[in-house]
Chain A
């Protein structure tokens, strides 16, 4: 613990030293209530981490909090994972900028849940132990499948992490006047502390607390916005249309998904991607049994759905209040201070003053910490459980495995910080869209077919899975976002922003083709093992049970 406080005090010094430097440049008041809130959160969450650290002994504790989280708690935590900075800041920012298109994202993010539940949740819970690779590796070749699944997980985790890092950097920049780079480093260090010391138990509780605070905060904001319009959504929309430069166009979809291929592709990525997100899949193993896993999905869907509905109100509220004469102080050189992702944060100041701005900022910061912690844990598990303990050193002890996890956490933290700085200008909801595309094309097809298709073989899964992953990554690089916006080329080689339609198809076709043409003895054994797997997937007999705390 002493170490933690030593690191923190160094950070605190850096924070205020940096704060002074940009303070001059931006002429922004240091927000004292915000800073007090911020330190209350840091103190509270570090307390949880300390408590969790003392209870985290085994690998099971570290990865899944010993499987002792209840359905309600887990539902809160899943909602916490989902109501990320990308959702909160990104979607409200999208509604602020483009109106209805933001809601299209929200619908896509939510509608994946029921489908996952009907088709996957209980089977995942019954077959897996720590990571989603456990499921695919149930009857297929351990080494190959785990290596592939780990790559898929890491690709998704990295992209999602960038989105969160960018959000956090911008947020702290606005809040403290701290420079973006320092802010991102601060988040990286905090996250490393939470995860290395507290593991999944700390991550889960930080997630739950933050979910409660965030839901209360956005409810208050939504309430305050609507109270100005006699609680009429129509009146709010009328005012927004009057003020927004696009006028009536903000009441219908249009700007974001301009052509049919992009729209279908985005829809596919959002829906199937949810089922392939490693940090969400991990949450099915933190509960005791399939029954609790199902309950947690109901709670999560309810909370997330409610959250998105309120976000739509907040986005329209931001259009109205920030574009009014009083809102002028939130603009620098005609642009929203901190970027469009900060619309919700500025709105919190309008409706609730400095103290509420402090509250929302601190909650948003806690949100980012909790989500990056969950992501990092998922990435670290992929490295330590799937690559190290199952491929590199199959005789590894639990201590060795946990130690590798912690090293992996530190490395992922550093990579996250560097990429967060490199991708500063990207819209964070869009980055999440890319993460979903990769989850949908590399992870989902293997998971889905390993559960439902008896003829799947290791060869098919490995080759097809890599085809899906590579297709998604290459198309993203050649597409408009990376090729034009980041690498500054004139025109994109691949014309669409969202590759999922092509990459998911490529993965399914690849897996199918290389499975049915596999006539080896091993393939026959793997296909035969499907019977036993399906019985366990349906009933949960022999699945890892809960641990009491």
Chain B
């Protein structure tokens, strides 16, 4: 890719929309997962006994549902991102490709 083409793609409104939307969304989801995971790890680090709180009269603690929820939520965020990336964002990439296809 020569400098001219790079400049042209960067000036393309569809490209700008792609980068802005995708980066914004990825960063938001990424921060969400990081905050979730580190809240968990820091709880284990500084006060593990909180996770030992019982949910009822039996032996069950909140540690299990929380661990399981993190695994499930991680999967769901992955699914959400890919649905968006493979639909909306890929469409934008196609539009950019249309605009510059003669020079690619």
Q: Are A308 and B34 in contact (CB under 8 A)?
A: no
Q: Are A295 and B51 in contact (CB under 8 A)?
A: no
Which residue on chain B has the smallest CB distance to residue A264?
Answer: B45
Quote the shortest CB–CB distance from B62 to chain A (angstroms).
Answer: 9
Quote the shortest CB–CB distance from B16 to chain A (angstroms).
Answer: 10
Of B1, B19, B33, B67, the contact of A538 (CB 8 Å cutoff): B19
Of B42, B58, B75, B86, the contact of A264 (CB 8 Å cutoff): B42
Of A106, A114, A253, A536, the contact of B63 (CB 8 Å cutoff): A253
- Please indicate the chain A residues that have their CB under 8 angstroms from the CB of B81 in the complex: 114, 117-118, 294
Q: Are B85 and A294 in contact (CB under 8 A)?
A: yes
Q: Are B15 and A538 in contact (CB under 8 A)?
A: yes
Give chain A interface residues in 358-372, CB to chain B under 8 Å: none
Chain-B contact segment, one of A4-12, A80-88, A539-547 = A539-547
- Please indicate the chain B residues that have their CB under 8 angstroms from the CB of A491 in the complex: none
Give chain B interface residues in 29-79, CB to chain A under 8 Å: 29-30, 33-34, 36-38, 40-42, 44-46, 48-49, 51-52, 58-61, 63-64, 67-68, 70-72, 74-75, 77-79
Q: Are B67 and A263 in contact (CB under 8 A)?
A: no
Q: Are B59 and A301 in contact (CB under 8 A)?
A: no
Question: CB of A326 within 8 A of chain B?
Answer: no
Q: How far is the CA of A253 from the CA of B22 in the complex (A)?
A: 37
Q: Are A238 and B59 in contact (CB under 8 A)?
A: yes
Quote the shortest CB–CB distance from A38 to chain B (angstroms).
Answer: 32
Residues 1-40 of B, flagged 1 when their CB comes within 8 A of A and 0 if not, give 1010011011000010011001000110110011011101
Q: A113-B78, A117-B78, A295-B82 are in contact. Are A251 and B26 (CB under 8 A)?
A: no
Residues 64-104 of B, flagged 1 when their CB comes within 8 A of A and 0 if not, give 10011011101101110110011000100100110010001
- Please indicate the chain B residues that have their CB under 8 angstroms from the CB of A538 in the complex: 15, 18-19, 22, 93
Interface centre among A104, A252, A261, A540 (most CB of B within 10 A): A252
- Please indicate the chain A residues that have their CB under 8 angstroms from the CB of B33 in the complex: 111, 114-115, 118
Which residue on chain A has the smallest CB distance to residue B36?
Answer: A111
Question: CB of A298 within 8 A of chain B?
Answer: yes
Of A113, A237, A260, the contact of B60 (CB 8 Å cutoff): A237
Q: How far is the CA of A309 from the CA of B71 in the complex (A)?
A: 8
Q: How far is the CA of A539 from the CA of B45 in the complex (A)?
A: 41
Q: Are B82 and A294 in contact (CB under 8 A)?
A: yes
Question: CB of A506 within 8 A of chain B?
Answer: no
Q: A107-B71, A111-B37, A251-B63 are in contact. Are A291 and B42 (CB under 8 A)?
A: no
Question: CB of A241 within 8 A of chain B?
Answer: yes
Quote the shortest CB–CB distance from A278 to chain B (angstroms).
Answer: 22
Q: Are B82 and A541 in contact (CB under 8 A)?
A: no
Quote the shortest CB–CB distance from A444 to chain B (angstroms).
Answer: 14
Question: CB of A103 within 8 A of chain B?
Answer: yes
- Please indicate the chain A residues that have their CB under 8 angstroms from the CB of B64 in the complex: 100, 103, 233, 237, 251, 312
Of B6, B48, B59, B97, the contact of A532 (CB 8 Å cutoff): B6
Q: How far is the CA of A291 from the CA of B93 in the complex (A)?
A: 11
Q: How far is the CA of A252 from the CA of B48 in the complex (A)?
A: 7
Q: Are A114 and B41 in contact (CB under 8 A)?
A: no
Quote the shortest CB–CB distance from B38 to chain A (angstroms).
Answer: 7
Q: How far is the CA of A107 from the CA of B49 in the complex (A)?
A: 18
Residues 293-306 of A, flagged 1 when their CB comes within 8 A of B and 0 if not, give 01101100110010
Q: How far is the CA of A254 from the CA of B63 in the complex (A)?
A: 11
- Please indicate the chain A residues that have their CB under 8 angstroms from the CB of B77 in the complex: 114
Quote the shortest CB–CB distance from B11 to chain A (angstroms).
Answer: 11
Question: CB of A420 within 8 A of chain B?
Answer: no
Of A119, A301, A541, the contact of B104 (CB 8 Å cutoff): A541
Q: Are B38 and A267 in contact (CB under 8 A)?
A: yes
Residues 229-269 of A, flagged 1 when their CB comes within 8 A of B and 0 if not, give 00001100110010000001101111001011111101100
Question: CB of A172 within 8 A of chain B?
Answer: no
Interface centre among B42, B71, B104 (most CB of A within 10 A): B71
- Please indicate the chain A residues that have their CB under 8 angstroms from the CB of B82 in the complex: 117, 294-295, 297-298
Q: Are A252 and B78 in contact (CB under 8 A)?
A: no
Which residue on chain A has the smallest CB distance to residue B43?
Answer: A253
Q: How far is the CA of A297 from the CA of B78 in the complex (A)?
A: 8
Q: How far is the CA of A237 from the CA of B67 in the complex (A)?
A: 15
Q: Are A295 and B63 in contact (CB under 8 A)?
A: no
Q: A305-B75, A538-B15 are in contact. Are A118 and B29 (CB under 8 A)?
A: yes
Of B40, B44, B59, B79, the contact of A251 (CB 8 Å cutoff): B59
Of A108, A248, A263, A294, the contact of B59 (CB 8 Å cutoff): A248
Q: How far is the CA of A260 from the CA of B42 in the complex (A)?
A: 7
Question: CB of A399 within 8 A of chain B?
Answer: no
Which residue on chain A has the smallest CB distance to residue B2?
Answer: A532
Inter-chain pairs besides A254-B48, A294-B85, A531-B7, 8 sampled, C-beta below 8 Å? A114-B78, A115-B30, A118-B27, A233-B64, A237-B59, A301-B78, A535-B6, A541-B100
Instruction: Report 12 cross-chain contacts, Cβ distance below 8 Å, ordered by A residue.
Output: A100-B67, A106-B67, A107-B67, A111-B70, A111-B71, A115-B30, A237-B58, A253-B63, A257-B44, A267-B41, A302-B75, A532-B6
Q: Which 8 A-B pairs have the closest CB atoms?
A: A252-B52, A263-B45, A260-B45, A267-B41, A118-B26, A251-B61, A241-B59, A294-B82
Interface residues of B (CB under 8 A from A): 1, 3, 6-7, 9-10, 15, 18-19, 22, 26-27, 29-30, 33-34, 36-38, 40-42, 44-46, 48-49, 51-52, 58-61, 63-64, 67-68, 70-72, 74-75, 77-79, 81-82, 85-86, 90, 93, 96-97, 100, 104
